[in-house]
Structure formats: C-alpha cells, structure tokens
Structure 1
Amino acid sequence: MVRFLIRAAIYLVTAALGLLVASWILPDFHIEWGGFLVAVAVFAIAQSVLSPFIFNVARKYASAILGGIGLVSTFVALLIASLFPGGIRIEGAVTWVLATLIVWIVTALGGWVLPLIFLKRRAGDRNAAAA
C-alpha cells in the first residue's frame, strides 16, 4: 500500500512538473494558478486511465503505433485537462504538439528516475531496520 501511495505521489509530481516545464518553455501554454491542482489531478487521472485503454485499442487495431502510445495518451490527457476551466489553456497547433512532447518527456523521465530514488531508498531503509 505504501508503495502504491509513493508511486501515486511520484505520478502527481511528474505531471505537475511536466505542466510547469511546458508553461515555462511555451509562450502559448498558460497555467491559471487557481486551477493548477485540478489540472494536475485531471491530467494524472486521465493519463493513468487512458494509457492502458489506448494501448489495448492500438494493439488490437493498429499495432504499428504502439511506440507512440505515451504521446497519444499525453495529448488526450492534456485535451481533457484543458476542458476544465481555470486550469491550463493551450493555444495553437504547434503549442499542442510541443506541449505533448515536453509533458511526455518530463513525465517519462520522472516516472523512470524518481521510483529508482525513492523506492530504492525505502528498500534500503527496510533492510537496515531488519538488520
């Protein structure tokens, strides 16, 4: 259960970082701070629900795009998060493409590196307590 909570926290942090990095880099990617937490939660939930769904659909009907599943689910999650007022606002096709790439890269790297750091540290603490 603790491992699940750590992974959920890591996912929320990486989603927030991805959205923040996109807003810092892209002039047409706007975060309205009053709805930022809602946007992060909506994005994270949409991403976590959509990824397996899109993967299964692609595996069944379009196996050639399996490598792009993360990008597709990130784009759709950004689209859903932008529908909630007071969160994020993305203007222009180029910004949509670049925001998808930036958020995907940040969440992928964070989802790969942060568990290694935090879950390894927790395993080390558990081993030290057992000794």
Structure 2
Amino acid sequence: MIMFLIRAFIFLLSAAVGLLVADWVLPGFSIDWTHWWGFLLACVIFAVLQSILTPWIASVARRNAPALLGGVGIISTLIALVVVAVLPDMGITIGEPVLLTWLLAPVIVWLVTALATLFLPMIFIKKKVDERRA
C-alpha cells in the first residue's frame, strides 16, 4: 500500500512538473495562479487520465493500428491536455499560437513527465536508503 501511495505521489508530481515546464517554455500555454487549487485539481485529473488512457490506447493500438504503439504516450498526453484545458476553473489555457502550442505542449509534457517519472523515484529511494543507513 505504501509503494502504491509513493508511486501515485511521484506520478502526480511528475504531472505537475510537466505542466509547469510547458508553462515556462511555451508562450501559448499558461497556468492561472490566481486559483492555485485549480492547478492542483488539473494535475490530479491529468495524472488520473494519463493512468487510464495510456493502457487503453495501447490495447486499442495493438489490436487496430500497431504502428501507433510508439506514440501512445503522446496521444494520451494530448487527450489529457484537451480535457484539462477544456474544463472550467482548471487554470490551464492554451492560446496563441494555437497550432504550434497544441503540437508542442503534448510533446513537452510527455517528455518531462517521462523523465520525472524516471528520476523522481531515484531521488526518493536514495533518500530512504540514506535515512535507513543513518
């Protein structure tokens, strides 16, 4: 149970980092900080959607279009971004340049989320190992 909670926390944290990097890098991607709770809710919704959509899209692609298997992560990221951007009060908007932002945002969020999911456990596990040694 503890490992499940740690993995859920890491996945939520990686989703937040991915959305923050997209906000910093893309001029058309913005997070409204006046309602900070909207961003937290957007991170939770984004992470839950990612965890549900990725295996589902992978199974659909495996059955119907095996060539799409490599892009499952980006496709699920795009769908999760669409949902989070469309929902009111999430604090995430995608504006001008619309096409460029919609093309780059899923790639950036997917890449940063993948890297964060890879490196964050190393940080937390190293911290736990160091605590147990002390």
TM-score (norm: length of structure 1): 0.89
Matching residue of 2:112: 106
Matching residue of 1:9: 9
Deviations 1:12-57 (A, max 9, x none): 1111111111111111111122111111111111111100000100
Quote the offset at 1:118 in angstroms. Answer: 1.7
Structure 1 stretches lacking a partner, 5+ long: none
Matching residue of 1:56: 59
CA–CA distance in structure 2, aligned partners of residues 26 and 39 of structure 1? 18
Quote the offset at 1:121 in angstroms. Answer: 4.2
Percentage of pairs with the same residue: 52
CA–CA distance in structure 2, aligned partners of residues 115 and 53 of structure 1? 25
Matched, 1:84 2:87: yes
Look up the equivalent residue of 2:28 and give its one-letter code: D
Q: How many residues align?
A: 128
Look up the equivalent residue of 1:54 and give its one-letter code: I
Matched, 1:28 2:28: yes
Deviations 1:71-128 (A, max 9, x none): 0010001011112112211120110111111100110001111112323543x36975
TM-score (norm: length of structure 2): 0.88
Structure 2 stretches lacking a partner, 5+ long: none
CA–CA distance in structure 1, aligned partners of residues 61 and 131 of structure 2? 40
CA–CA distance in structure 2, aligned partners of residues 27 and 117 of structure 1? 30
Alignment RMSD, CA only?
A: 1.7
Matching residue of 1:74: 77
